[in-house]
Structure 1
Amino acid sequence: MSKRRRKKRQESEMSESWLLPYADLLTLLLALFIVLFSSSAVDAQKFQQLSQVFNGIFMGGTGPLNYQQPLENDDHSKDVPDNSSEPEAEIEQNIEAVLDTEDQQELEAIQEKVNAFVQKNDFHHKFDVALTSEGLLLTIRDNVLFESGRADVREEDKNTARELAVLLEMEPPRNIIISGHTDNIPIHNSAFQSNWELSVMRAINFMKVLLEDDKLDPRWFSAKGYGEFQPIADNQTSAGRAKNRRVEILILPKVKETD
């Protein structure tokens, strides 16, 4: 009689062991459908990348289906670590990696356009283009745009700024920061009391010329002035001071959406 009862109890406990992996599977499928729905507007290449991510997760043996045996009883189940959130976390990490790769590729495409512009106009000694951890950085020597000690873009150089504006037409748009920098030689004239003021006004005036392009949305632009406080070269030499007098255009990576 005791054997029958024990066998019946074991069968009852084993018959309920499928609930945990089944619940995890439903959660994972829900996450899958949400991500697929949110990515319905992406191109075929990105969709293929996402498909590979999910395929790797399902076939890699790390998902909720990877249970070797049913739980023996309720007491033992308390000692089993809850890994139900691991598949969702893995999905999020892989999706972020795919999106970061796509973002990097887009910035590299913009960099190629800017490099072509620099080569076309023979601006190699006046422009620098680099993909940094902060985004795509375009550095312009101040003598390309301004007279010494002045903040207004020269009339003959406004066309250069307008051509650059065309390169900044992106869909979707990105946040762009225009920053002005000077050397450490003090300035004091009727227009500016400090290098800080000069750097701010240069950034603002240059940004105004860019925004003459009606395809650029001012909401995505901001201007900063750093004066002499972020040098990229030695201010003890004339060559170093020339490098420090610059305007920078920083095209930022896409902002990740948060809950």
Structure 2
Amino acid sequence: MSKKRHEHHEEHADESWLLPYSDLMTLLLALFIVLYASSSVNISKLEALSQAFKSALSSGLGVLDGGSVTDDSMQRRLTDDTQNRSNDGRKNKSRAVLQQEEQENLEKLKENLDQYIAKNGLSTQLETQLNQSQLLITIRDNALFASGSATIKPDSQKLAAAIGTMLEQYPDYEVQVKGHTDNQPINTAEFPSNYELSSKRAINFMKILLQNEAFDPKQFSATGYAEFHPLKSNATEAGRAVNRRVEVSILRHYTEPMTEDQKISVAANANGTQQSASQ
């Protein structure tokens, strides 16, 4: 009697579940990569990544289309949009138009200052000049300070406040306050030299301007030049009186290159000032 030999076959478990599992793991890995990348948002890269996922996934719905990536990224985009809208007015205007508007603004401000000077009889103490780079307000030191002092006179604080009120209509301009002295030496405990005196005078005047809450302090600066930028010769008392001054410069945003005639005029004025100061 023959014996049938039974072949032993290994039994194999059904492993078909591994396919969807591996797909799930792949998608999860991709999701974590996207979340990691979104921690430092680059909008253009995110948009490109979204398009790539749209093409890869059969559903046709991008991974990033379901909602916002992070609150921070959305807030950042909203902030950028707000800033862009605030600058749209300037961006949509040509430089020539912006220069013309700025010229009109500064001319109007100069007119207001000149009217204030005339109305209050300050023509010997204040003057204004509008040039290619700035609107310059020059204030003689005797209108603001006692001799050898950096404390603004009580009556003169009203002058500084009035200038600030006129400037508040144009809060986006950079303002420089500069102090100047004559060449008479000073050596006190408070002011070892004219540098300290001129700097303190500029700072004190700037502080009064900044009492106006319409101004951004980041737009203001104060500098002391001592006796080294004279307008007249220091050989006479009249010349020294002219040299002792505080200057407030409202700087233009848009400047045009000077023509050759303007350069020659500026050079001639500079040479005339230097010759006058050296006499």
Which residue number corresponds to residue 223 of structure 2? Answer: 224
Give distance in 1, aligned partners of 2:212 and 2:87. Answer: 31
- 1:1-38 superposed Cα distances (whole Å, 9 cap, x missing partner): xxxxxxxxxxxxxxxxxxxxxxxxxxxxxxxxxxxx99
Which residue number corresponds to residue 163 of structure 1? Answer: 162
Matched, 1:118 2:117: yes
Question: How many corresponding residue pairs?
Answer: 171
Give distance in 1, aligned partners of 2:95 and 2:172. Answer: 20
Indicate if the aligned counterparts of 2:178 and 2:223 stay in contact, CA closer than 8 A: yes
Give distance in 2, aligned partners of 1:219 and 1:38. Answer: 19
CA RMSD of aligned residues (A): 2.2
Q: CA deviation at 1:134?
A: 2.1
Structure 1 pair 192–98 and aligned structure 2 pair: CA distance change class (3 A) = same
Which residue number corresponds to residue 42 of structure 2? Answer: none
* Structure 1: gaps spanning 5 or more residues: 1-36, 51-94
Q: CA deviation at 1:208?
A: 0.6
Structure 1 pair 171–180 and aligned structure 2 pair: CA distance change class (3 A) = closer
- Radius of gyration: which is bigger? 2
The one-letter amino acid of 2:89's match is: A
Which residue number corresponds to residue 244 of structure 1? Answer: 243
Which residue number corresponds to residue 198 of structure 2? Answer: 199
Give distance in 1, aligned partners of 2:247 and 2:120. Answer: 18
Which residue number corresponds to residue 64 of structure 1? Answer: none
Give distance in 2, aligned partners of 1:99 and 1:105. Answer: 10
Which residue number corresponds to residue 214 of structure 2? Answer: 215
Instruction: Give aligned-pair identity as a percent.
Output: 43
Q: TM-score, normalised by structure 2?
A: 0.57
Q: TM-score, normalised by structure 1?
A: 0.62
SS of structure 2 residue aligned to 1:215: coil
The one-letter amino acid of 1:194's match is: S
Indicate if the aligned counterparts of 2:126 and 2:138 stay in contact, CA closer than 8 A: yes
Give distance in 1, aligned partners of 2:139 and 2:170. Answer: 24
Give distance in 2, aligned partners of 1:198 and 1:167. Answer: 27
Matched, 1:145 2:193: no
- 1:78-121 superposed Cα distances (whole Å, 9 cap, x missing partner): xxxxxxxxxxxxxxxxx323322221111111101111111111
Give distance in 1, aligned partners of 2:86 and 2:162. Answer: 35
Q: CA deviation at 1:251?
A: 0.3
Which residue number corresponds to residue 106 of structure 1? Answer: 105
The one-letter amino acid of 1:138's match is: I
Q: CA deviation at 1:220?
A: 0.9
Give distance in 2, aligned partners of 1:226 and 1:184. Answer: 11
Give distance in 2, aligned partners of 1:154 and 1:38. Answer: 41
Indicate if the aligned counterparts of 2:178 and 2:246 stay in contact, CA closer than 8 A: yes
| Stretch moving more, 240-249 or 97-106 | 97-106
Structure 1 pair 125–207 and aligned structure 2 pair: CA distance change class (3 A) = same
SS of structure 1 residue aligned to 2:222: strand
Matched, 1:177 2:225: no
Q: CA deviation at 1:172?
A: 4.9
Q: CA deviation at 1:190?
A: 2.0
